[in-house]
Amino acid sequence: MMFYQLIIEILSNYECSWYEMLQGFKKKELEALIMEVLPPNSEGDYSNFSFATIFVVFLLTVLSLWYLEVPSLMGNSTFQFHSNIIPVELLALFRTACFLLSAYTIVILMVRSTDPGTMIALRHKENDYHLFELLGLERLVSFSSWTLMIFGTAFLFASIGTWHSVFDIEVPDWITIFSSVLYSIALGCVFLTSTVVRYIIIPTEIKMERDFDHLFKTHESIMHNVAIILIVIDMIVTKPNLQPEFGLFGIIIGIIYLTFAYLWAFFGGGYYIYTFIDPRMKSSPQVLIGLAFSIGLFYLGVWIISKIMDELFLLGVLIIVLWVSQITMFKKPDAAKKIELIS
């Protein structure tokens, strides 16, 4: 399976929905396609190699954090809890609203929704594919859901710190540290997610002539479009002091998610959230590690723009606004736009 196909599976929230993607096919065609796209593992058991690779990458990342003195950078972080553009009270309200929006999306539109998400996933013990209907907390097992949770948590800490500034109270160091780290991770995640949805997932759905209306449901739009717009607005009005070394946290969050996914397969739901992370497959860990590095690379791109904003504010704003405009999509494309997307 090609790398871009695996990335599609990683970041297509689809309510964790392979079934919705394939609902246009007849039953026999669907079953045949599942077996073609998701073949049983026949490469032998590479579990030990997979786990060793993950451990080595994690160890190298931790050593890099130490070598680059990232803990010291975290301790000396100067995360912005005020703005030179808008009143601090308005900034506090904005950040609180961002947190509440993410919480509402996760709790009300996803966890408490009675409309189940569906997933055709590889079962760990049986080593076969099964259709799962996801309800409640199980709808939060996808990486896209984690991205929204990271976004919401980042704005929770940022809003707490900003309210401290409103009332002229010293912001605790731990609030500053958590805000800096989570904000950096959220930037990388939302830019990566929006880009992949806009340029890989949607064009793929168009090429395969499948119905992708579900990608424009309210909670999907919040995850893939609204989140990135809100965090960029925050970035513009606060001009945060981003640290390039914090891109390493993208690798860390990728490994944490991979660990969770393995624990979920072994002791939780009994299935692999994404087929390619099956540790028995030869290329599984490298793919998710590639995703983790991608998070860091997107973060570094945003960091470069933040440096431009420090010197030429309007130019930096123009660049990041153009970037966001090219990776967001709020409505289903018409026929002409579809041709443009797949060309």
CA 162/CA 97 separation, integer angstroms: 13
| Residue of higher predicted confidence among 171 and 18 | 171
Domain segments of the chain: what residues?
3-342
CA 314/CA 318 separation, integer angstroms: 6
Q: What is the mean pLDDT of residues 181-205?
A: 89
Supply 237's token pair.
């009005």
The answer to whether the beta carbons of residues 258 and 179 sit under 8 Å apart is: no
Residue indicated by tokens 């609030």: 175
* DSSP state for residue 172 in the 8-state scheme: P
The answer to whether the Cα torsion of 206, 208, 210, 216 is positive or negative is negative
| pLDDT 10s digits, 37-46 | 444 455 577 7
CA 263/CA 270 separation, integer angstroms: 9
Instruction: Name the band, by pLDDT with cuts 50, 70 and 90, for residue 340.
Output: low
Sort strands 271-272 and 117-123 into parallel, antiparallel or unpaired.
antiparallel
**Does 130 score more than 90 pLDDT?**
no
CA 228/CA 194 separation, integer angstroms: 8
| pLDDT 10s digits, 30-82 | 444 444 444 445 557 778 888 888 888 899 999 999 999 998 888 777 788 99
Contacts of residue 262, Cβ cutoff 8 Å, sequence gap at least 6: 277, 279
DSSP string, 2-50: -HHHHHHHHH--TTT-HHHHTTTS-HHHHHHHHHHHSPPP-S---HHHH
Instruction: Name the band, by pLDDT with cuts 50, 70 and 90, for residue 342.
Output: low
Residue indicated by tokens 């090219």: 326
